Structure 1
């Protein structure tokens, strides 16, 4: 067995690999860019080596720097994680030249499956069902339109070397095909250095289901059941689960056997994933094979009890798999939520900055957190915006979902925007509860985007009771202040309050319960609330009429900001006189910024398509902003005249920074 391995990656996957290696008694080497010098994976590893500047194409993608780190540390094997060099056959060859094992498949499989065009042809030869499409290289935009017309709209344009949703566009007509081809090509070059794009039929009402495979060098190839990955936004997976609530045992077996056949066709070794698109009748078609560990691999681990990273290391060491196909069962249900540093209320745009407060839920037999960040750390604009993967387990899908919703309530993050409200909202949708989602779920459920009104608190009175509990505790503490025990302010505790909950008002009476906690009468509804909450704690755990609840708390100058089940509420607990005065407070309107195009995210201003004095029609391009390697086109919402351009192409932008000023309508 190896004594020392190097992890050619960063963030949560590097930390994940370190944990398994440590369990196996193997020392680890972390590599890091200058931006990651204080990252969690650097702290966790036994050794760490700097491999270059912040930009990934100057550090994590530079093979020479990683090879040098291997030689300098004496690592005997390399785990590539996912992304970066994980599916680069040249990296495998470079390691082979210096006698270092690659913890993954060999060159043949990487080359064959890493190219979406070649992999589709191989799948067809192996008897695997494939989606109708054009597998030759598309020459130019006109050629793309011609091919799309023959296949029939809608079509999917994909970067041949793509992944992670980058270099991928759906077109429903010729205009979208032209624009999609140009954008897919541009993103493909930017992200992968490969401008090849291919086209295939876009299957409507699809489900995205993938099969986890595991193979050794002794001829053993297994499938470890499936994962449902249909909850996606812009082709990026958001929530994954295992098993799928859709597949029958027969379909599962057929998909697994085809995945194994494909793996054997390329002499696959190590862990890998064969992705399928499945229609409403459970017909399935090969999409691609990922010759690496998948982001969502933990859900497979939780239902099978198999540590995939450990198995990968053993296979790379030449060991034979100790399990057989009949040994692989399905124990319970598992689900993974990708917690991203992005703002769902601003179109899911990336959010960067310092994690001022970071408290993940406590891990247990039913809750797992795979993360690469910590309180005080930075979310950099240079890399993927993932904060963590939150994984839960339950004996069935309903229990697993409830465990996930509870864990999301307990995930306390401040300093950057995050998508926890959105994740909670998705899981409350009836289609999700029923398991009848497709890859169009998010687009169909949130056609106009996502906003706070889409996650209303089911029972506001619970949060009103929480606010009253805290206010009563504050009042009791105040009367204990020296000099306040007799007369004046501390003479008598107020029991009657007016609670301002967002735009609603509730009358509440709070009295101590003879046993414990408080009885809160809210407009005629009696709630008994018990809690061991103490001042300063950001999480309020309580029992309200026998139901456990967790509420996140941020103190405001007057009142509290409360977060629960994805919803946010501003709550003020006032005396009747204070409530009367509060109603007289003037409203301060925010400044009118309608004459400006503001940057909706931190990022790089790639290009400005207009000039000062130019007349622009609604829908025309104004500029392109790149963030996390994704291009975002800013278009005019109405006919405008450009008054002034405040930012230059090539410059970095902060959130709400002025880019373009328009002539006023006045």
Structure 2
């Protein structure tokens, strides 16, 4: 077994590998760029080596620097994590030449499966079911249009060397092929240094289901069930679960056997994932094989009890696979939510900045529930613009699917993140979505259910009652605390007056106090809008970021952020401003003027911190609605900013190659 390994990666996956290596008694070496000098993975490792500037192309993607770090520290092996150099065959070969072990498959398998065009040819030869399409390299947009027409719409245009949803476009008709081809090539070139693309038939209402495989150097190979990865946005997975709520045992077995056959055919040695798309009738088609550890591997670990990172290390060290197919049992259900640094209310645009507060839910087993959080940040960490926007992977396990979803819902409500915008509100709302809870999924789920983007949700009457109760309790405790600090007695302050009004955003809701006392812990009866009294029980104290307790029959974990004369409460994807006041104060509050938002209709603002790729318009030019005004790259993704109406460009304030802050004015309109 190795005595020391180097992790050629960063963030949560570097931390994840370090944890398994530590359990195995293996020393670890971290590498870091200028942007990651104070990163968590650097602190966790036994040693750390600086490898260059912040851009990945000058640090994490430079194989020579990784090898130099191995030689300087005596690392015997390299675990690549995912992304970066994890699927670069030349890197694996160079390591072998230097006598350093690559913790992953051999170059042959990486080349055969790492290229989407070649992998489909290989899968066809191995009699694996594949999607109809054109597997040759497409030279230009004219050829792309011709091939798409021959295949039949809709089609998927995909980067050959792609991954992570980058370099992918769907074309529903001829008009979308040319632009999709150019955008896919541009993203592929920027992300992978390879602009080759191919086209295949797009399966309508597909599910994205993948099989986890393990194979050693001695001919042993197994599959460890499947993962459902259909909840995606822009072809990037957002929520995964294991097992799939759609597969039956017959289909699971058939997919697993094909995945193992493919792994054996390519002499695969390590953990790998064979991805399939599955149609409404459970027909499945090979999509690609990822010759590395997947981001979503924790859900497989939670339902099988197999540490995939440990198995990768043992296989790389030449050990026989100790697990046989008959040993694999799928136990319970696991769900993973990817916490991204992005603003769901602004079309999920990337967000960067410092984590001024980062309080994930407690990890461990709590009765029949397991909570796991794979992360590479801590409070005070910086989220830079140079890398993927994922902050953490929150996972829950429970005996059943709905129990795992409910556990995830509560864990998300307890996950406190401040300093950046993040997608927790969207994830929390998703956990309550009927279609998700019923398992009626497809890769088009987000686009279908949120066609106009994710907007702030409005609470229903039952949710309003819960929020009004929480807001009332917060205010009663605040006033009681103020009375104690000033030496006043509660009866003189009006705290125990029976009638109150809670303002939820712009709605005023009457609340009446019944039995109970203002104390910690609190147990008090409240009646909302003349309804049946509900008992509110909580040991929450002013200043704590998460309010935990029960409101009637509801178990509530809500995030509390103080605002002037009230609090903002976040719960189940809802975020409302609450102010609790006496009835007369509420009457006066209704008369207060509302400040109008500034008019930005004549400005194109940069929606996220990023790099200006191009501005295809000129000053004085008239543009039509839908035409491209600018392309901004952020966190490795190109974002096209289009005109929302016919207009004339009056002034351009930015230029290609310039880095812009959020809300920077790119151009002005007449």
Q: How does 1:13-92 map to 2 (within 5 A)?
A: 13-92=13-92
The answer to whether 1:500 aligns with 2:500 is: no
Q: Is the CA contact 1:613–1:642 (under 8 Å) kept in the aligned structure 2?
A: yes
Q: Provide the residue aligned with 2:371 in structure 1.
A: 367
SS of the aligned residue for 2:345 comes to helix
Q: Is the CA contact 2:272–2:292 (under 8 Å) kept in the aligned structure 1?
A: yes
Q: Provide the residue aligned with 1:262 in structure 2.
A: 262
Match of 1:634 among 641, 648, 664: 641
SS of the aligned residue for 1:474 comes to helix
Shift of the alpha carbon at 1:276? Answer: 0.4
Q: Provide the residue aligned with 2:526 in structure 1.
A: 520
Match of 1:428 among 427, 432, 440: 432
Distance across 1 between alignment mates of 2:461 and 2:439: 23
Q: Provide the residue aligned with 1:413 in structure 2.
A: 417
Q: Provide the residue aligned with 2:400 in structure 1.
A: 396
Q: Provide the residue aligned with 1:296 in structure 2.
A: 296
SS of the aligned residue for 2:364 comes to coil
Shift of the alpha carbon at 1:428? Answer: 1.8
Distance across 1 between alignment mates of 2:487 and 2:279: 73
Q: Is the CA contact 2:512–2:528 (under 8 Å) kept in the aligned structure 1?
A: yes
Q: How does 1:437-448 map to 2 (within 5 A)?
A: 437-448=441-452
Distance across 2 between alignment mates of 1:132 and 1:483: 78
The answer to whether 1:614 aligns with 2:617 is: no
Distance across 2 between alignment mates of 1:477 and 1:512: 20
Q: How does 1:419-568 map to 2 (within 5 A)?
A: 419-453=423-457, 458-485=462-489, 490=493, 493-511=496-514, 513=516, 517-525=523-531, 526-568=533-575
Q: After superposition, what is the alpha-carbon deviation per residue over 1:336-388, rounded to whole angstroms, capped at 9, x for unaligned?
A: 11110101100010011111111001112211000001111111100000010
Q: TM-score, normalised by structure 1?
A: 0.97
Cα 1:269–1:486 change in 2 (3 A) is closer
SS of the aligned residue for 2:484 comes to coil
Q: Which runs of 5+ in 1 are unaligned?
A: none
Shift of the alpha carbon at 1:509? Answer: 2.2
Distance across 2 between alignment mates of 1:15 and 1:3: 18
Q: Provide the residue aligned with 2:145 in structure 1.
A: 145
Shift of the alpha carbon at 1:490? Answer: 4.0
Q: Provide the residue aligned with 1:378 in structure 2.
A: 382
Distance across 2 between alignment mates of 1:415 and 1:337: 20
Q: After superposition, what is the alpha-carbon deviation per residue over 1:494-516, rounded to whole angstroms, capped at 9, x for unaligned?
A: 33211111222111123552795
SS of the aligned residue for 2:150 comes to helix
SS of the aligned residue for 1:131 comes to coil
Shift of the alpha carbon at 1:534? Answer: 1.1
Distance across 2 between alignment mates of 1:372 and 1:285: 34
Distance across 2 between alignment mates of 1:266 and 1:486: 76
Shift of the alpha carbon at 1:483? Answer: 4.6
Shift of the alpha carbon at 1:584? Answer: 1.6
Q: Provide the residue aligned with 2:603 in structure 1.
A: 596
Distance across 1 between alignment mates of 2:458 and 2:49: 46
Q: Is the CA contact 1:606–1:649 (under 8 Å) kept in the aligned structure 2?
A: yes
Q: Provide the residue aligned with 1:162 in structure 2.
A: 162
Q: Is the CA contact 1:131–1:200 (under 8 Å) kept in the aligned structure 2?
A: yes
SS of the aligned residue for 1:518 comes to strand
Shift of the alpha carbon at 1:434? Answer: 1.2
Distance across 1 between alignment mates of 2:218 and 2:137: 36
The answer to whether 1:587 aligns with 2:581 is: no
Q: Provide the residue aligned with 1:316 in structure 2.
A: 316
SS of the aligned residue for 1:185 comes to helix
Distance across 1 between alignment mates of 2:10 and 2:295: 13
Equivalences, count: 662
| Most deviating of 152-161 and 457-466 | 457-466
SS of the aligned residue for 2:396 comes to strand
Distance across 2 between alignment mates of 1:506 and 1:265: 67
Cα 1:482–1:173 change in 2 (3 A) is closer
Q: How does 1:219-298 map to 2 (within 5 A)?
A: 219-298=219-298
Distance across 2 between alignment mates of 1:223 and 1:18: 25
Cα 1:11–1:351 change in 2 (3 A) is same
Q: Is the CA contact 1:500–1:506 (under 8 Å) kept in the aligned structure 2?
A: yes
Shift of the alpha carbon at 1:322? Answer: 0.9
Shift of the alpha carbon at 1:486? Answer: 9.7
Displaced runs of 4+ in structure 1, greater than 6 A? none
Alignment root-mean-square deviation, CA: 1.4
Distance across 2 between alignment mates of 1:485 and 1:278: 67
SS of the aligned residue for 1:295 comes to coil
Q: Is the CA contact 2:136–2:198 (under 8 Å) kept in the aligned structure 1?
A: yes
